[in-house]
């Protein structure tokens, strides 16, 4: 357990006992290093690289760093730059949502005794298991579930063509331009599974001309609920939800390629409305 040290500047002649003074964003050397030593520092995001914030806290003797978001966007990905990867930073550094950061600061200012317990690390929950801070959420205006399915789209390595169009290079990019190809590729493979006659009933190939609705249904049926957190920094709601739809695309749950389960299919069947 470690106690919190609040990285917040206050214009008070006699600050309340336990309220530690430090630059809010920690982009400069912490001027209350003696108070910070041996504690966890909470810092606001923005103005300078994450590595600079963590390094200033480490230099002051902090045990760990919590950097809370400066927008209502939840958890976010922290990384160093190529020119400053932060290899010299040895203390744990974590991101938390703006809401969590405000709760910690308010509780501390109210005189509550706060402790933080670090369990596991970033490797326990991969980034693709947490909703990206810029991911849109539903519902639609008529209350339909959107999104319906998710795919990794944050810092995905992709080929970028050069102006000559004769070669390309690899670059990390984020957004729907990265996520959509994952879903599209999975949909193509599902279609191929049926058109090549791989779905058999009593040894006979079935549904070799699958409808778009069938492909979508198989895709959603195998979606995996996220194990991470929502854009607000809280555990994900159960699927289907307006945050993640039916979950993230996972082809091995959609198609029985290893015969670990059976896939029961109906296509182009009239549904009674009565």
pLDDT in tens, 209-223: 999 999 999 999 999
pLDDT at 236: 78
The runs of H, that is alpha helices, within 95-198 are 98-109, 176-195
Distance from C-alpha of 64 to C-alpha of 75, rounded to nearest angstrom: 17
pLDDT for residue 159: 81
Count of C-beta atoms within a 10 Å radius of residue 268: 10
Cis before 188 (ω within 30): no
Q: For residue 79, how many other CB atoms are within 10 A of its CB? A: 11
Kindly report the pTM of this predicted structure. 0.57
Q: All domains of the chain, ordered by start, with CATH? A: 2-124 (3.50.30.30), 156-254 (no CATH)
For 258, residues 6+ apart whose C-beta sits below 8 A from its C-beta are 252
| pLDDT < 50 positions in the chain | 1-21, 121-123
- CB-CB contact of 249 with 186 (8 Å): yes
Helix (H) or strand (E) holding 33: helix 33-36
Q: For the CA atoms of 132, 251, 236, 99, what is the dihedral angle to 10 degrees?
A: -10
Alpha-carbon gap, residue 68 to 46, rounded angstroms: 10
Residue 22 CA to residue 43 CA, distance in Å, equals 9
pLDDT, tens digit, for every residue of 143-177? 899 999 999 988 888 888 877 667 788 888 888 88
């Amino acid at each position: 357990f470690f106690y919190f040290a609040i990285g917040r500047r206050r214009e008070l002649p006699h600050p309340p006992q336990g309220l530690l003074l430090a630059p809010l964003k920690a982009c400069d050397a912490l001027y209350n290093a003696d108070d910070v030593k041996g504690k966890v520092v909470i810092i606001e995001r923005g103005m300078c690289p994450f590595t600079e914030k963590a390094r200033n806290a480490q230099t002051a003797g902090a045990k760990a760093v919590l950097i809370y978001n400066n927008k209502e966007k939840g958890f976010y990905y922290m990384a160093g730059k190529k020119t400053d990867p932060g290899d010299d930073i040895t203390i744990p550094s974590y991101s938390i949502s703006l809401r969590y950061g405000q709760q910690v600061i308010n509780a501390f200012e109210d005189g509550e005794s706060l402790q933080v317990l670090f369990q596991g690390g970033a490797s326990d929950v991969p980034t693709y298991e947490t909703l990206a801070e810029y991911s849109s959420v539903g519902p639609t205006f008529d209350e339909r579930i959107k999104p319906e399915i998710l795919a990794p789209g944050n810092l995905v390595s992709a080929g970028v063509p050069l102006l000559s169009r004769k070669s390309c290079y690899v670059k990390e990019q984020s957004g729907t331009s990265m996520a959509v190809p994952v879903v599209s590729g999975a949909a193509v493979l599902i279609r191929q599974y049926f058109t090549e006659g791989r779905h058999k009933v009593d040894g006979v190939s079935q549904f070799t001309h699958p409808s778009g609705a069938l492909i979508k249904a198989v895709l959603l049926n195998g979606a995996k609920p996220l194990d991470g957190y929502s854009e607000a920094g809280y555990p994900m709601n159960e699927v289907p939800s307006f945050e993640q739809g039916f979950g993230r695309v996972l082809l091995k749950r959609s198609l029985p390629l290893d015969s670990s389960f059976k896939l029961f299919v109906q296509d182009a069947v009239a549904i009674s409305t009565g």
